[in-house]
Structure 1
């Protein structure tokens, strides 16, 4: 392993550690159905609006060049995934599920990220990869059904479906963001993604802002997800992916569910039982196995011109 790859792994771990606090802090900001605090929409859009201000200043200070024409559409997709989709779905869901529960649901995110990365690079995942992806998804659904609530029958809670949607959004945002990090500064990727979303996030955040006084803990939690989860964490994460490679560095996501659970217990007073821990271990083992399955390059189409006439 080269020094750059080793540095990439450490930066990737730093990003994952920052992201691991996102679910507990979001829960702390939105409250519970019995004691609601901030709305999930405000937490999601407000944190993006705040981070966009820091992003604009950072782009000015570092004299960031304007993205090239070919980079705008990937930036829009990155923004749709990690600025709008994942924060919005998780923030709304976290009022209705505990952070420990949510950590299991999003545990298959590394596999989803690997799948998006394979599609972006026009690769073909093996049958083993697909088997692991299906089994991991089945474990997540089984856990959600098992925890659907006594006397309510087996069904997926709306919050669980929102978390699954958030996982898909994050995978798309990570995949396109990592791809952009190969062509532009990793720090600039998330900054531009936030800045281009600001005309939407700012007015919507102001419209949904809390009208009543809230405890300081909710505002501290909001500050964390705005400054760290939405901004600084991506500095480390995208830089790590660029230095160490997406396939290698994304492996460190395997520890994120356990870190989230460890943070949720003291911060929120949640309980970690053996069933939840068992499902988390099973999901992570499936993800680990899936990430080791071969992913083949797709066959190149036959050339329509003779090799002598092909552009060089």
Structure 2
């Protein structure tokens, strides 16, 4: 716009133009005496933050679900319920089937996010506390970043890798201290969960470039439905079921909240603000889970748990900035 000469000085408003969705930056031009508008929470940030909040409740809800179901039946039933919800949305919106080239990637998402991570963390929670598991899984953003760099061929800086090694050392030291000097079976499950979930997140992020993010998790759930339906039938037949209010509430949350709603808003938010900015929000997840483990489950934290969680968050924050 061409400025007009006038005896009266009129303050101008700063204009900001984003360089693209998820870029996290933009060019800001501010005239002398300009009035800079106050920044507000973007819809993408709000959605991604809601996703982190729902994820932080996953471990406490799983612990509740284990009061009523066995680990195998709990994972299978939660996936079946989430798949039915996703299928309803896909049918209601008349979403066409993904291209054949996307099915392999969707299988990786399903194997990592729908089946692998829930199963391994549920098995781990039979012997580990939710607070302990929250600290170990606090490395998930970092693990995902490593997988993304390998998948995308990027070369992070030396600062990134220094912080990554430091974060891994903190987690390994914490788990060794909590288990008396040796890794437990629960820790093995948790580290395996990190790997499969990071692979699922990385492949899902790649697919989200060509199709809406919520459809990625929706089709992954539907793709796994035949397997999870059989697993639910077998699990319910062979594992004891003792229905309680906590158990049912935990099942409903991990199915409708963590598995569908959480991933739905997470992928939508990530599509709007970008994977890098969204992953920074996920740094708060371990500390939130520690809060839920105390308030909902009555767990008592050792001084090492919050200290280790805070140290991991610092290390991961450095990698995000690097």
Aligned residues of 1:55 and 1:194 also touching (Cα < 8 A): yes
Stretches of structure 2 that go unaligned for 5 or more consecutive residues are: 1-15, 23-41
Partner of 1:108: 139
Secondary structure of 1:124's aligned partner: coil
C-alpha contact 2:80 2:228 (8 A) present in aligned 1: yes
Match of 1:156, SS?
coil
Cα offsets for 1:124-168 (capped at 9, x unmatched): 12232222222211111110110114xxxx100110111111111
Q: Deviations over 1:204-224 (max 9, x none)?
A: 111112544332211110111
Number of aligned residue pairs: give it: 284
- Between Structure 1 and Structure 2, the one with more helix by share is 1
1:1-312 paired onto structure 2 within 5 Å: 2=18, 6-31=42-67, 37-149=68-180, 154-209=181-236, 210-293=239-322
Q: CA deviation at 1:270?
A: 0.6
Q: Deviations over 1:16-72 (max 9, x none)?
A: 0000000111111114xxxxx421111212111111111111111111111112211
TM-score normalised to the size of structure 2?
Answer: 0.84
Structure 2 CA distance, aligned partners of 1:76 and 1:248? 26
> Is the 1:181–1:239 Cα contact (8 Å) retained in structure 2?
no
Off by >3 Å, runs of 4+ in structure 1: 1-5
| Equivalent-residue separation in structure 1 for 2:132 and 2:94 (angstroms) | 43
Distance 2:44 2:242 in 1: 42
1:125 counterpart SS class: coil
* C-alpha contact (below 8 Å) 2:64/2:249 kept by paired residues: no
Q: Specify the structure having the higher radius of gyration (Cα).
A: 2
Alpha-carbon separation, structure 2, partners of 1:117 and 1:187: 19
Segments of 5+ residues of structure 1 without an aligned counterpart are 32-36, 294-312
CA apart distance, 1:4: 6.5
TM-score (norm 1): 0.87
CA RMSD of aligned residues (A): 1.6
Partners of 2:241 and 2:199 in 1: CA distance:
36
Aligned to 1:234, the other structure's residue is in SS state helix
SS in 1 for 2:246: helix
Distance between the aligned counterparts of 1:13 and 1:212, measured in 2? 34
- CA separation in 1, counterparts of 2:21 and 2:292? 30
Secondary structure of the structure 2 residue equivalent to 1:217: helix
Contact 1:25 1:224 in 2 (8 A): yes
Q: What SS does structure 1 have at the residue aligned with 2:296? A: helix
- Once the 2 structures are TM-superposed, how far is the Cα of residue 117 of structure 1 from its aligned partner? 2.0
SS of residue paired to 2:139? helix
User: Would you say the 8 A contact 2:70–2:240 is kept in 1?
Assistant: no
Task: Quote the Cα distance in structure 2 between the aligned partners of 1:212 and 1:167.
Answer: 29
**In 2, distance between residues paired with 1:112 and 1:225?**
23
Secondary structure (helix, strand or coil) at the match of 2:173 reads helix
